[in-house]
Structure 1
């Protein structure tokens, strides 16, 4: 008789072990969301001063070539001063970090917050996600170890990362997908749901706090997309793959561009030089290619036929180049939100070239392919692309489109470097 070689299932965690995690998860979720909203609000207020009040008072065009170059260069100087002089130097080189943030010492966090707020207000093409996650992880770990010393140290970074992702996207689904992806390669001691219980509670709290306070929405209100057809499937496959290839071109260039800036040596040379290049790119691409890109992508999506294919192509290339430069020269920020703009502009370019391509299909597939190349986060890419289009039928198309796009990016260099400057694979 053949022996049963199946391994026994790991025992579930009893409820009495999970219940004490709820209160810390809720506390971290509220705190992470409020910090994110506070930094974002402060940056928006400063942005209004720098890009509206100040140029109006000086009689200079708000997004004129002169003001764009001056403001981006000045932002490089301001962030360079923070990196040079503020204790902790605003954390490690952002080119070496991703969403999975290290636990930074408390002395680093104020400088990192200041550098992030200045970057968001000044116009470089980066989002808040990476530094805000790092700050929340550092704060949660430092406070958690002191207030709840019996809790395992690994609990606090997991709660903070999940809470911040939930706050950033206004939904815990994105955090749950990222957590599941991170746990997929680990040997779990129990059911998956036991492992994600506390992080999911933190993510839900962070998302709900953001929703109640700020009412965010990622729906671009694109033209309604009904039942998909064969043409939609073909378009999604082609656009997602082409966007992934375009994104991989920037990924391949990343270590070389980073190395070129690094040879300048001092942050007061590297960041102002990066700001100057970004200012010239912003002057070339227009004001829509500045900042993190979330509001700007809503503007181009509101009128898919309002720009020509050439204009969309210019915005795509300029924004991708700006993302590459900003991520290479030391500005503290993340790559997800600007990559969304690049993918959306690429998809709308495809729609302008081939009117038969539905704008919703073009945008969703373009964002999917670009995010797969830039972030190498499959679930985040699928979720973000799907949430931009309020149509359940788009999900099946995106799942198919992700397959060839993933084959183009997997196993290849990522847009993240090791300390020695070589790309992570």
Structure 2
């Protein structure tokens, strides 16, 4: 066996991994820049819709009538994109996960336009799924032309990791998500003539290039947009035995409440799919979202990350029933938006719903530390919605902002996981996809 000081041989993992460093950096930086570009464009459109236009028209920016009007119009515009854009703006979002096989490049303009409408219009969905899908498609398409010997799964992993790192501002989330993926899917041999797939072998060999991409994406986001995910909550640094019980109860409550939305998801999806014309389907979906937004108010609109920080700045701003109502409206909006076919991800609105449930638990029982309650609420809801233990644990810990939370969150995760494992997921099989316009039942064009 070679010693630590010996140079790697021609077939060593180091020789296979080093050529991927530069491509990984390029993919990570590019993934972050595309995320920043689309998010910035969505923010400009959002300012127009929710700040300038109401001022010019002399109406309340978040009045019930304006909320219903804007979301209904956004639904109609999204329906037009899904109907007329090449590839129909990608597959039915109800059937897509966080990381899926690459789309055809021709689908991407329509998908980008659809996600900008979602983010700007107040739809309760996040950017993660469409942005990851776009970056994966671009990386695989361009990578095949620039470095054709590198297999497509490698480009997919680089783009997914780079985008997740950019979204969360840290490569840790990407490492956790990919390690979960590697554990659930056996490594695939490379195609004949392509050589070995770099990273097959040990877990850290597999994670090496994706972590480079995730680090590059995270650093680009940090340098340009300075994201901050931790909420302005009191530091949790005094662990009590009773907190183990309350943490488990709050996380389990969040999982149970979110599972109601998970069970309703396929029923709503089938109901919306009876409206085969996407303009009609999404306009109706926008109207429902507008009614929910008018009911829940400004805090239940948009992807939810800024709104959850607003809740954290005023933890006594609502009663327990008020916070619970915000959580239920947000979960309903998330479920209707995904069922109707709006392009967007489910993680960020689920975070808001979990945080609101945590604030409700603290308002109901004030002896529960507010930071612990919020982190455990997020943990339980994300477990039900994403069925990813690592994503749920990482997000809850980051939002809580303290390392003292980690041991308790690990314990609280266990009973909540028992409640959700083996049950339906908030992701439908491809066969349940909305019919592509003019093509009958089946997956939408990709």
TM-score (norm 2): 0.91
Matched, 1:370 2:369: no
Root-mean-square deviation (CA), in Å? 1.2
Aligned to 1:266: 277
Q: Is the 8 A contact 1:101 1:130 kept in 2?
A: no
Separation in 2, partners of 1:185, 1:421: 23
Q: Among residues 247, 251, 255, which one is paired with 2:266 in the alignment? A: 255
Unpaired segments of 5 or more residues in structure 2? 1-10, 188-199, 434-446
Name the residue aligned to 2:215: 204
Summarize deviations over 1:44-103 as a string: whole Å, max 9, x none. Answer: 111000000000100000000000000000000111110011111100100000112221
**Aligned counterpart in structure 2 of residue 323 of structure 1, from 334, 342, 351:** 334
Task: Answer whether contact 1:82 1:89 (CA < 8 A) is retained.
Answer: yes
Is 1:383 matched up with 2:382?
no
User: Partner residue of 2:120?
Assistant: 121
- Mean CA deviation greater in 330-339 or 15-24: 15-24
3-state SS, counterpart of residue 151 of structure 1: coil
Distance in 2 between residues matched to 1:94 and 1:391, nearest whole Å: 34
* Aligned residues of 2:13 and 2:205 also touching (Cα < 8 A): no
Tell me by how many angstroms 1:219 deviates.
Answer: 0.8
Counterpart-to-counterpart distance in 1, 2:162 and 2:404: 29
SS in 2 for 1:154: helix
**Relative to structure 1, is the Cα distance of residues 13 and 366 closer, same or farther in structure 2, using a 3 angstrom cutoff?**
farther
Determine the structure 2 residue equivalent to 1:300.
Answer: 311
Q: Which runs of 5+ in 1 are unaligned?
A: 1-11
SS at the partner of 1:61? coil
2:294 corresponds in structure 1 to 283
Aligned to 1:416: 427
Q: TM-score, normalised by structure 1?
A: 0.95
The list of structure 1 runs, each at least 4 consecutive aligned residues, that deviate by more than 6 angstroms after superposition, is: none
Once the two structures are overlaid, the 10-residue window that deviates more, 260-269 or 12-21, is: 12-21
SS across alignment from 2:184: coil
Q: Does 2:229 match 1:218? A: yes
Correspondence 1:100-139 to 2 at 5 A: 100-139=99-138
Alignment: residue pair count = 412
C-alpha deviation, 1:308, in angstroms: 1.0
Residue 431 of structure 2 aligns to a residue in which SS?
Answer: coil
Contact kept, 8 Å, 1:30 with 1:205, in 2: the verdict is yes
Secondary structure in 1 matching 2:269: helix
Aligned-pair distance for 1:186?
4.1
After TM superposition, list the pairs within 5 Å mapping 1:335-350 onto structure 2: 335-350=346-361
Q: CA deviation at 1:187?
A: 4.3
